[in-house]
Amino acid sequence: MRQFDKSQELFARATKLIPGGVNSPVRAFRSVGLSPLYIDHGVGGHVFDVDGNEYIDYISSWGPLLLGHAYPPVQQAIAEELKRGTSYGACNAREIEMAELITSFFPSIEMVRMVNSGTEATMSAVRLARGFTGRNKIIKFEGCYHGHADSFLIQAGSGLATYGQAGSAGITPETAVDTLVATYNDLESVRHLLERYPNEVAAVILEPVMGNMGLILPEEGFLSSLRALTQERGVLLIFDEVISGFRAARGGAQELYGITPDLTCLGKIIGGGLPVGAFGGRRDIMQHLAPLGDVYQAGTLSGNPLALSAGIAMLRELSREGFYEQLEEQGRLFESLIRPVIDRYSEHLSFNRSGSLATLFFRPGGVHSNAEAKQANTEQYARFFRRMLQEGIYLPPSQFECIFLSMAHSREDYERTAQAMILALEEALGH
Ligand SMILES: *Cc1c(COP(=O)(O)O)cnc(C)c1O
Which of 319, 339, 372 represents a domain boundary (last residue)? 319
Residues 79 and 145 in one domain: yes
Average confidence (pLDDT) per 10 residues, the chain, 431 residues = 96 98 95 96 98 98 97 98 97 98 98 98 98 98 96 77 79 94 97 97 98 96 98 98 96 98 97 97 98 98 98 96 96 98 96 97 96 96 98 97 97 98 95 64
**What span, in angstroms and rounded, lies between the C-alpha atoms of 50 and 348?**
35
- Domain tally for the chain? 2
Residues 76 and 54 in one domain: no
- Residue 40 appears among annotated catalytic residues: no
Residues 303 and 390 in one domain: no
Which CATH number does the domain housing residue 43 bear? 3.90.1150.10
pLDDT value of position 176: 93
Residues 181 and 285 in one domain: yes
pLDDT value of position 232: 98
Residues 396 and 410 in one domain: yes
pLDDT value of position 159: 53
Pocket test for ligand 1, best of 117, 119, 263, 357 (most atoms within 8 A of CB): 119
**What span, in angstroms and rounded, lies between the C-alpha atoms of 424 and 74?**
35
Residues 20 and 66 in one domain: yes
Residues 101 and 234 in one domain: yes
Q: Cis link prior to 291 (omega < 30° from 0)?
A: yes
Which of 277, 299, 319 represents a domain boundary (last residue)? 319
**What span, in angstroms and rounded, lies between the C-alpha atoms of 87 and 99?**
18
Residues 299 and 400 in one domain: no
CA angle 366, 249, 97 (to 5 degrees): 145
Residues 170 and 64 in one domain: no
Residues 362 and 381 in one domain: yes
What element of type H or E holds 349?
none
Which of 319, 341, 374 represents a domain boundary (last residue)? 319
Which CATH number does the domain housing residue 171 bear? 3.40.640.10
DSSP 8-state symbol, 216: B
Residues 285 and 191 in one domain: yes
pLDDT value of position 156: 76
> Which domain does 13 fall in, by range?
5-70+322-428
Whether ligand 1 lies within 6 angstroms of the CB of 117 is answered as yes
The catalytically annotated residue of 71, 145, 381, 394 is 145
9 SS3 class = helix
> Helical H runs in 234-369?
252-257, 283-286, 305-318, 323-344
Residues 271 and 157 in one domain: yes
pLDDT value of position 97: 98
pLDDT value of position 121: 98
